[in-house]
Chains A and B, each alone.
Chain A
Amino acid sequence: MASIISHLDVPSSYRDQQYRGTSNQMVQDLSSSTTLYIGNLSFYTSEEQIYELFSKVGEIKRIIMGLDRNQKTPCGFCFVEYYHREDALDCMKYVNSTKLDERIIRTDLDPGFREGRQFGRGKSGGQVRDEYRPDYDAGRGGWGHLQRIKIEREREMAVKANYEASDVPTGAEEYKSRVNNAGKAKRARDDEEDDDENDRRRQNPRFREHDDEDEE
């Protein structure tokens, strides 16, 4: 009877590449799981907001916020674990593709939380999707990382073209040569260091020292 429509309470086609186990085990885990992956969250969505929405479906066992691997700040995803599988399935039917914090969120059945899965796997520390994202998303740090690097480089070149003087006033020759040497040396040092690290420090206002008070 129900075969005339497709059911929404099924896992997506996503398969975790870092899953430890055989594909049979993954299928088994998925078919008994009470855990959901939640994606497309704003970086500023709080645990309490997630709790409020997902409690409507059933009693929540725990919520694990997804964190930037380096900064340990929320990076736009989380896991919600229920006591009963039925509640996770109901989320797929009733909450997936609705809004939380005024963003359309995505829910997906997850094989289960393991230590380490709470961290973003993107090169810069956040989620992979934020590395390559071409659009501007105010709730997810603005530009995607590669896009931001591209924009910054373009801006640097534009600044150089506009402000670098080709005619040097008399008496300033000495100064110019000193500046040039300093610039050259700095560029050499930059070439050796991790480009991403520098870019992140410069552009991401949320970058800060590891908070001592954070729990393990």
Chain B
Amino acid sequence: SSDKFPAADSASYFVLQEIVHDTVLLFESNRKECAKYLLGLHNNFESGIFASQITESSDKGNEEQKDAMMEQTDGWVLSEIVLEHVFGTMLRLPSPPVKQVYFAALIIELCKGENSSASQSLKKAVHILFERLADMDAGLISRLYNWFPHHLSNVGFEWEWDAWQGALSLDPLHPQLCFIRETLEKEVRLSYYDRVKTTLPDEIANLMASEPPAPSQELLSPSHPHHDAVKQLLGKLKMKQDADALNDTLAEIRKQEIDNGMTQEQADETAREIFTQAVLLLGSKSFSHVLNVIERCLDVLRGLNQNPSERLHSVRIIARFWKSNTQLLGILLDKFMNYRIIDPTSIISWIFESEQLEQVGRSYLWEILHVTLNKVINRAQHVQTKLDGFRDVYNKNEVIRSENPSAESEAEGQQEQVAIQTVEKSLETVIREQKEVFMVVLQKFTQTLQEMYLRFEAGGLDPNTDFTFRWVNGWYKDVLRMYHKEISTFSTTLESLVFVDHLDSRIKEPFHQLKQLRHRA
């Protein structure tokens, strides 16, 4: 605290915090008015409390004059106070009151216009937050590395990267390095590889992938063991031939494998590899293209994914094919789930494989996890909404029917009842699926953490010194927090099946805290 900023334990700090927080929420439907009002707050107070705003319009190069101007005005810097509380709201736990993207839009609005002191204050805020990343909660770090590239994409990707050169020598899983890496990856998604590279000093650019994202060319290699069958398959797919024609080629591939001494299982795996890669390759032109190809081969794809291990294999194939384009990987896994070719459990199993856990500091894994969990939640909500709708209609119709009872209206009522019962059954199914999925996630997390605790303690080390452990633990708490509503609906089951006695108490602790959260809500 200084004469530029109210002390954090002062009444003034509290009052201003409340004002900014309330304004941010009240004006949510018009970010432009919100920004205008926030930056004009000093008009609501006695003069002299807040420093007067400085415009940078002229004399950009005249440091002396600028310094003189800064000294002239005493008082708290309003834009710093505003940004402090905007970030405070954005980084609220367990969740912010408004979508993240609102804060991004609001901050962009604040930094516009003649009042450039907000831009300066924002730079200061980002540097402070960067310093604190080392000890920050994983969920909050991810909010920040989602916000920052979005913001930069609105201001021509201009940033003082040199100030962060020191972070380059840190552990590759250090939160600061992860923050920069993820920021760059998301900048590329919002823009394109070459453009982003031009905005960075060389050392920082080294954190980018060595090449722009591209599909795997493995299938087209002339040395591919099934080169001819691949050509045939691609040809048939391009000519939009039906499932039988496609399955014929697959049968040939399987036969070749078995003739070469492979087992049936290995032959099936090869067929799945080739077909899935062919679909992905043909669809690699754009997102719409791949959807079209998938829709044409739905039957064949479903036929290749009839049990958990087959579905897990498909996830691995897709992940390897689009290794360099994590955005497309996430979208494809989501669409494959939509088409019910793979299921949420296969994706979760894949995430917790050791090969993926080496990528624990990367955002894309946890984004895929969230998409998967959101999917089962949305499915259940969708069916619930449908059921509520049917019940509403039925109740309304019953009132009408009771005024004029007849055999016909009774039959109608019975039909509606049957429809309701069907949806009720379907709701039971999706809710059961939802619980199973959450159980698998929590099982994987707790087992992984238990294994890590044992390993570190056997070596006499504190797991909290290890970044892999910190990320896994961080994501674990984040999942509990984000989905506490759904998890609480069957916490008793979880107590008996997942959070068992022999589980380390440090792993059970966040789960118990979650239950407290539920009771207060």
Contact = CB atoms under 8 A, between A and B. Distances in A.
A47 B287 contact: yes
A52 B189 contact: yes
Nearest to B33: A5
B58 to A, nearest CB: 26
B104 A2 contact: no
B101 A5 contact: no
B29 A99 contact: no
Interface stretch (B76-84, B149-157, B171-179, B463-471): B149-157
B398 interface: no
A46 B292 CA distance: 17
A98 B328 contact: no
B425 interface: no
Interface string A1-18: 110011111000000000
A52 B105 CA distance: 15
A94 B327 contact: no
Interface string B10-46: 0000000000000000111111110000000000000
Given A94-B99, A102-B191, A51 B29 contact: no
Q: How large is the interface on A (under 10, 10 to 19, 20 to 34, 35 or more residues)?
A: 20 to 34
Given A59-B374, A94-B102, A49 B189 contact: yes
A102 B189 CA distance: 13
Interface string A26-60: 00000000000000000000111101110011010
A52 B189 CA distance: 6
A7 B30 CA distance: 6
A7 B285 CA distance: 39
B374 A2 contact: no
A1 B26 CA distance: 9
Contacts of B27: 5
A5 B288 CA distance: 39
A56 B150 CA distance: 10
Contacts of B192: 46, 49
Contacts of A51: 287, 327, 331
B351 interface: no
Given A9-B29, A51-B287, A93 B102 contact: yes
Interface string A74-91: 000000000100000010
A118 to B, nearest CB: 11
Nearest to B282: A213
B12 to A, nearest CB: 26
Contacts of A8: 29-32
A49 B378 CA distance: 25
A53 B190 contact: yes
Interface in B101-126: 101-102, 104-105, 108
Q: Which of A48, A59, A100 has the most CB of B within 10 A?
A: A48
Given A5-B29, A99-B153, A94 B287 contact: no
A199 interface: no
A101 B192 CA distance: 9
A48 B327 contact: yes
Contacts of A5: 27, 29-30, 33
B186 interface: yes
Interface string A188-204: 00000000000000000
B29 A59 contact: no
Contacts of A213: 238, 285
Contact of B29 (A2, A83, A95, A101): A2
Contact of A101 (B33, B191, B331, B374): B191
Nearest to B367: A55
Contacts of A7: 29-30
Interface string B199-238: 0000000000000000000000000000000000000001
Nearest to A215: B292
B289 interface: yes
B189 A215 contact: no
Counting chain A CB atoms within 10 Å of each CB, which of B146, B190, B238 scores highest? B190
Contact of B153 (A47, A65, A102): A102
B190 A52 contact: yes
Most buried by A among B32, B189, B292: B189
A146 interface: no
A90 to B, nearest CB: 6
A149 interface: no
A142 to B, nearest CB: 20
Interface centre among B27, B30, B150, by most A CB within 10 Å?
B30
Contact of A94 (B104, B146, B238, B289): B104
Contacts of B443: none
Interface string B272-308: 0000000000000111110110000000000000000
B100 interface: yes
Given A63-B287, A99-B154, A215-B289, A49 B30 contact: no
Contact of B101 (A2, A6, A59, A94): A94
Given A46-B286, A49-B190, A94 B153 contact: no
Contacts of B101: 56-57, 90, 94-95
A59 B378 contact: yes
A11 to B, nearest CB: 14
A65 B156 CA distance: 25
A57 B186 contact: no
B41 to A, nearest CB: 16
Given A56-B100, A94-B105, A98-B105, A49 B191 contact: yes
Contact of A47 (B102, B286, B292): B286
A157 B30 CA distance: 52
B288 A93 contact: no
A52 B327 contact: yes
Contacts of A53: 150, 190
Interface string B360-389: 000000000000001000100000000000
Contacts of A63: 287-288
Name the residue among A1, A47, A57, A215 with the largest chain B CB count within 10 angstroms.
A215
Interface string A171-183: 0000000000000
Nearest to B191: A101
B186 A52 contact: yes
A163 B139 CA distance: 70
14 contacts: A5-B29, A6-B30, A7-B29, A46-B286, A47-B287, A53-B150, A56-B99, A63-B288, A94-B99, A94-B101, A95-B105, A98-B108, A100-B153, A213-B238
8 closest residue pairs by CB, A with B: A7-B29, A52-B189, A94-B105, A56-B101, A215-B292, A5-B33, A99-B154, A94-B101
Given A6-B30, A46-B192, 12 more contacts: A2-B26, A6-B33, A49-B190, A49-B191, A49-B192, A51-B327, A53-B190, A56-B99, A56-B104, A90-B101, A94-B104, A100-B153
